[in-house]
Structure 1
Amino acid sequence: MATSLDIAHKPASAPLSGAEPARAKQNILGLSRDELGEALGAFGMPEREIKMRVGQLWNAIYNRGLIDFADMTTLSKDLRAKLGAAFTVARPEIVTEQKSVDGTRKWLLRLVSDKPGVPGPEVEAVYIPEEGRGTLCISSQIGCTLTCTFCHTGTQTLVRNLTAGEIVGQLLVARDALGEWPNSGRNSDDRLVTNIVMMGMGEPLYNFENVRDALDIVSDGEGLSLSKRRITLSTSGVVPMIERAGNEIGSMLAISLHGVTDEVRNKLVPLNKKYPIAELLDACRNYPGVSNARRITFEYVMLKGVNDSIADAKELVRLLKGIPAKINLIPFNPWPGSPYECSDWTTIEKFADVVNRAGYASPVRTPRGRDIMAACGQLKSETVKARASERFKTQADDQSKAL
């Protein structure tokens, strides 16, 4: 499977006919319709054909899941060959797949490397099957900058943002692995990936443009066709970007709250020092489109002796007054070296009872994929860290030999 995801490469300027020196192929995965049209125009496609060809390629890539231009039979054989010589539809490569006893799947995905001979960076994506639905948890960054103390990803430094193509590519790879494309023989109405959550590695609102562009592709009705009401963007509270997310992305919103006082939340989510709870909740009240039909989900990880008291539950109810909200109570998922413990089940039940009696839906999220480190807060690409250690060791050995 191809792994080139360099959508930032400049469009090839080759005409549709005539000999041409070999040049790097441009990956068109993740390009918007306009960008795809520009790429075809720069390639030499007659302007009168561009709109039609964009539609044909869009359908082939995002509706039929095709990778090889030779399989795009709505195009002439000659055109397929010429496009295949100039462009690619590259996807991330599955390095490992783990399957939990509960059916959850976690994929470690390798992206393109910008250095020849050096393995590309990696991210994780998780598929969670449930009765009547299937949720794909997608990453937006390699690593993270936020250092939330209860989150395993927060112990990994930020490598870079993902491109729109790399974000969309996670869904395409999941559909590949699940056999969900039309040519798989599966009933087209029987979808396995029904929902997407931007809750994987990284802070989506710190990669706003790429996340927005990727979700536009995911929700396009002539392609992957997932309703924006089935797409949830989770943020730790990048307040200045929340209104823009509502206007330009329009997905459902989830807030990683986890604390009801600035003192506690400063420790759990250090971003709170910049955007404290009062500012965050004001942004939520003004989120474009928020209503009882489009409630904001507040995620609240249950940490023993930290944020799980009855007083905390009552303060949570007070804070969210007037916000159409749902509260997800998340039993803490441990990871190696984590400084917290999960609240006792009786404590979680008592906490949930306070919230429920106040009129808020407050389901306790059943931990999924704990045995493969795929549960909420557990994602981290260990191979990046391991390869970094190997690289530094090699550098040290080379320096020693040079002395």
Structure 2
Amino acid sequence: MKSPIFVLRHILLITLFLSQTVSGEVLQFTLDTFVERAVAKDLGVGESVYAQDVAEARKTAALAAPDPEVSLSYGTDALGNDEGERAIGLSLSQSIRLPGQKKALREIATAETALVNASRREASRQAAFRAKKLYLQVLAARERVSFARQVSELADELATFVASAAGRGEASGIDAGQTKLKSLAAKEKQAAHEQGLSELQAQARAILRAKPMDELIFEGALAFPEERPSSPDDALNWRSRRSDLALASRKEDRATARVKEKKAARWGTWRLEGFMEHAREIDDPGGLEREKSHGIGFAVELPWWGRRQAEEREAKAELGAASLRRDVLAESIAIEVRTAADREKILFQRLSNFRDLLFPLAESNGKDALEAYSQGQISLQQALQVREETLRLRGEYLDLLLEYHLAATHLRVALGE
């Protein structure tokens, strides 16, 4: 019989295990770790890994020697006079690729592999960009919730003061109603911000593939940028770092290789053949005699001229379309980079104005209002209104801060960083 201590210990261990299973894990993220996990869990990135295996397998299959053809034949004169004549034949043929055809196939296979690698890089770039934007939005939403609580508390305080003043006959009922309306609106806005934060956290949980019971902790806060992105003029070879442009170039390389393949097909398909035949035939006056024969042959399967021309024209058209897409993409990327750089520059200037001009003035006004209230020069309602204006500026600064960080992230991604 088990002792009570033994049973109790096992019950505690089972309870602890079940509680950990139900409660889930605590996942703590910085921006870098969040992006790293989001990229690793992204469906497009995962599919690109398998696509690389597919491309390697197709390359091996495409560069392998053509399949040989073996045929076995048997003949008899059973439908004739059937004098015992028989024949058995065996033939083997092997297709031969010409040097130009081999080179074209190698170039196509190499282009396919490079295309898959570029696709994986582009999928990783897009996944990282989405993750960075989401992380910044979560940080901003969390600060909005905290800010909304302060605004709601201030609105409650102002509504309470005005209602008390209205009860003493020092304020009108309209003022009391308006401040009460502002208080309710502030609470509603706080609830909306909390809902937005919850939805963003749900999106983060989805891209991280976290369990429903896992707790997500996001470190950091939006702050004034200490380091700005490089400008397009200072960044070296940023075009070579753009994976989408590399992807378009690889598609153009594949189309070029296919044109070469169609041109190499002008020479047709060459086959080397070998045959062997054993026959028993009537040879007067000796009667049935056994005969053996063997030999080699050479065959060329010439393509139909009209079909070959059509296939070449199709391949050249695909090459032209791929080249056009790459050129247009290169132009659009240049415009995107310049636009992103201008936007980042303007937002940084606005952000600097907020920090260097508006905030100091708002803080100074707040201190002056508090001092004036302490000296009886203004009412508490006026002092609270000054504080309310300061909080409104903080809200605008928070929105501008998020807008800048998103613009800076976009510029870095546009530069291929």
Establish whether TM, by shorter chain, passes 0.5.
Answer: no
Find the structure with the greater CA-based Rg.
2
TM score, norm. by length of structure 2: 0.20
